[in-house]
Structure 1
Amino acid sequence: MADFSGRNIDKNQLLETLKKGGYVLYFRHADPAETTGDPGLSNEGIKKSELLKSLFVREKINVLSPVWVSPAKRTKQTAEVIFGTEKIQIDTALYNMDVILKDNPVGDEKDTKVRLIKMLETIPNSEMNTVIIGHHFTFGIENIRIPYLGVVVIRPMGIGEGYEVIANLEL
């Protein structure tokens, strides 16, 4: 299997790694019903979300609460189908992921960047993974297009220590 950048990824090895925990999983929401406004998920998006839920259960990939989502209906609905409503925490900063790539943001953008980077640098509790469901974002990796329900797997190094993108693929 190849990731969005064309690198070969051993899916089974990646699943084993995720079972051990300690990662941040940044998902793009599932397929929306519409491409304008604030739509919910299409039938295809719901179906794919249910398949991803089955993967998490079957492979025993543990997820830390909360599951972070943007305020968009499609991100909330994706999280609800996969993880249930009780785990969801809305964060408006997830609408503005591009601020991470700005060198010297000021004001609200600076605060948003700090909050987002903290999410990505925080190491989850033992045997758990943090899940974020947002929108298309490249993490500064050239020539990638994250498909609906594509995931960017991130290894957090700790607050102030950075993070590393280790894989990006469609599960």
Structure 2
Amino acid sequence: MEQSLLNSLRKGGYIFYARHGEATVGNDLPFLNFQDCFTQRNLSEKGRQQAISYGEVLRQLQIPIQAPVSASPFCRNIETAQMAFGKSSVQVNPFWFEVYRLSGNLLSDEQQRILTTFNSVMEIVPKKGKNKVIVAHTFPKGLGLGDIPYMGTVLIKPKGEGKGYDVIKRLSLGDLNKLGG
């Protein structure tokens, strides 16, 4: 099973939705400023090591990644993506902040709007022979992709715009390491 999954990933066509590496304890400040990392939780040393390892594992497994990698505007997400794939290979997408907002107190209409947009993004097939990587946030239990551990990845197979997507597998960083052998 694992070898056939790896072979499929090497052919491309998947979305790797990854949560950022381990962040420092605490909360993002109420006056959060994306340009000021001091107002946010940031990667711990373990989180930085996880990010580096993530990129190394995907390269060792020879999984082709579509550039740029998409990252949430939080410092912890940008740093995770840059440490894994290189600074020039990362593009910040403000939409991923919306996924973060799902953990707050939102009206159900707002929550549904975010999830509908998320679903439409997950339906977009990556460039031929490539896989798309998104470094963003976990979801509240029972919503979207559900709880994702630090540096965990949900493998998604998009079916095309308006056609939905399948969740293929949930992988921890350790699971990803085991794919190669």
- One-letter amino acid of the structure 1 residue matched with residue 9 of structure 2: L
Cα gap change, 1:151/1:63 in structure 2, threshold over 3 Å: closer, same or farther?
A: same
Equivalent-residue separation in structure 2 for 1:73 and 1:143 (angstroms) = 22
Equivalent-residue separation in structure 2 for 1:73 and 1:11 (angstroms) = 33
Q: Secondary structure at the match of 1:54?
A: helix
Count, aligned residues: 157
Conserved 8 A contact 1:138-1:146? no
Seq. identity, %: 30
Q: Secondary structure at the match of 1:165?
A: strand
TM-score, normalised relative to structure 1: 0.79
- One-letter amino acid of the structure 2 residue matched with residue 132 of structure 1: I
Q: Secondary structure at the match of 1:92?
A: coil
Q: Does 1:14 align with 2:16?
A: no
TM-score, normalised relative to structure 2: 0.75
Conserved 8 A contact 1:21-1:129? yes
Conserved 8 A contact 1:70-1:76? yes
Conserved 8 A contact 2:139-2:148? yes
For residues 86-165 of structure 1, the aligned pairs below 5 Å read: 86-97=88-99, 98=102, 105=109, 110=113, 112-113=114-115, 115-137=117-139, 140=142, 145-165=147-167
Equivalent-residue separation in structure 1 for 2:132 and 2:115 (angstroms) = 18
Which one of the candidate residues 26, 30, 41 is aligned to 2:21?
30
State the 4+ residue runs in structure 1 displaced beyond 6 angstroms: none
Cα gap change, 1:131/1:138 in structure 2, threshold over 3 Å: closer, same or farther?
A: farther
Equivalent-residue separation in structure 1 for 2:95 and 2:112 (angstroms) = 9
Conserved 8 A contact 2:138-2:146? no
Residue 58 of structure 1 aligns with which residue?
60
Give how far 1:113 is off: 4.7
